[in-house]
Structure 1
Amino acid sequence: MTNWYTADTHFGHENVIRFCDRPFKSSAHMDGVILENMWKVVEPEDDLWIIGDFAFGAPAKDAAYLQQIFDQLPGACKHLIVGNHDSDLTQSLGWSSVSLMAEVPDGPKKQRNTLCHYPMITWNHARREALQLFGHVHNNWRGSRNSINVGVDVWDFRPVTYDDVSRRARKLPVNKHWSDVEHRSELE
């Protein structure tokens, strides 16, 4: 079983194409590509974590549309970390879990990584190499050494694994405010 992470799919949202310079002709085209990319990697026994903003715009107010997209998600368990655009309707789709934040054991040391839609400056076990995975900022920021954007806009519209995130994290700079909140760190 593998955990797969993604954020800011914004299924059905026409304007996100323009706002984030996404390379799609329409929201239907975007939805299809994102779903296809998920199906290429997420196996039936895997868990899929959507770290906020599953859908948005007029289609996100249509229960039938939301259910149709949700039913196409791959994996054994589908989890939602609530983002600012995740309505009660989205939250009621039949997710395996719905929460504002979660700690998910993953990686070679099975440390509890923190998932939250919003980037954070520190979190539980941050000094013990636990990563924070977020979305919300789309293509504006990839993150820092230990807090990584898993949004589709910075990952070629596909979900990623802990190993993908960890490799990118090692190439990112230390957050310039890290020493303000965590005075001792193995990350520096």
Structure 2
Amino acid sequence: MDTMLLANLSARVGPEDTLWVVGDFAFGPRAKDAKWLNNLFNRLPGRERHLVVGNHDGQATQSLPWTSVSHTAEVADGNGAPSVLNHYPMITWHRARRGALHLFGHVHNQWMGSKNAVNVGTDVWGYVPVTIRDIAQRAKSLPQNRHWQDVERGVEL
């Protein structure tokens, strides 16, 4: 599996690209093996590599030489459109009323997300990395979260 995921990453992430891992970089007994983790990390493509911490990202994973390690991150695409990254799906987030997409994982293929909160887990994307453009396109095809009006009353998407 590692070989396939790394090959897919290398096919889509160039040497000048920025890579965001939205949690669960490694799992299982080897995820505590510093040598194995370093080898895996060193094979990642991209100029910058960021980790948004997931529930399986222990201290060994967080100690790798990431460009940044955080529990939540806010990023903008090339056009300035904001996205909020968190490993866990959230019902609302910073700038949600202003069109910020929320990108999450954790739930695997149990929920694809909604029109403003998209599951970016590799298992729901054919095990290939995705761009913000890919995510925004999928978001348009997803339904509004049924609880959106409960927390963001009067806000249409």
Q: Which residue of 2 aligns with 1:179?
A: 149
Q: Is the 8 A contact 1:107 1:163 kept in 2?
A: no
Q: How many aligned positions are there?
A: 157
- Rounded Cα–Cα distance in structure 1 between residues aligned with 2:83 and 2:32: 32
Query: Deviation per CA, 1:26-60, whole angstroms, max 9, x where unpaired?
Result: xxxx1011000000010111100000000011110
Q: What's the counterpart of residue 117 of structure 2?
A: 147
* TM-score normalised to structure 1 length: 0.82
Cα distance, 1:107 vs. partner? 5.3
- Correspondence for 1:88: 59
1:58 maps to 2:58 = no
> Which 4+ runs in 1 deviate beyond 2 A?
none
Q: Structure 1 stretches of 5 or more lacking a match?
A: 1-29
Equivalents in 1 of 2:127, 2:9: separation in Å? 9
- Normalised to the residue count of structure 2, the TM-score between the two structures is 0.98
SS at match of 2:109: coil
Measured on the aligned residues, the alpha-carbon RMSD in Å equals: 0.8
Q: Give the 3 Å change call, closer, same or farther, for CA 171–107 of structure 1 in structure 2.
A: farther
Q: How many angstroms apart in 1 are the aligned matches of 2:37 and 2:85?
A: 23
Q: Deviations over 1:130-184 (max 9, x none)?
A: 1000000011111001000000110010110111000100000000000000013
Per chain length, whose mean CA-contact separation is higher, i.e. which structure has more relative contact order (CA < 8 Å, sep 6+)? 1
- Identity in percent: 58
Assess if the C-alpha contact under 8 Å between 2:82 and 2:99 holds in 1: no
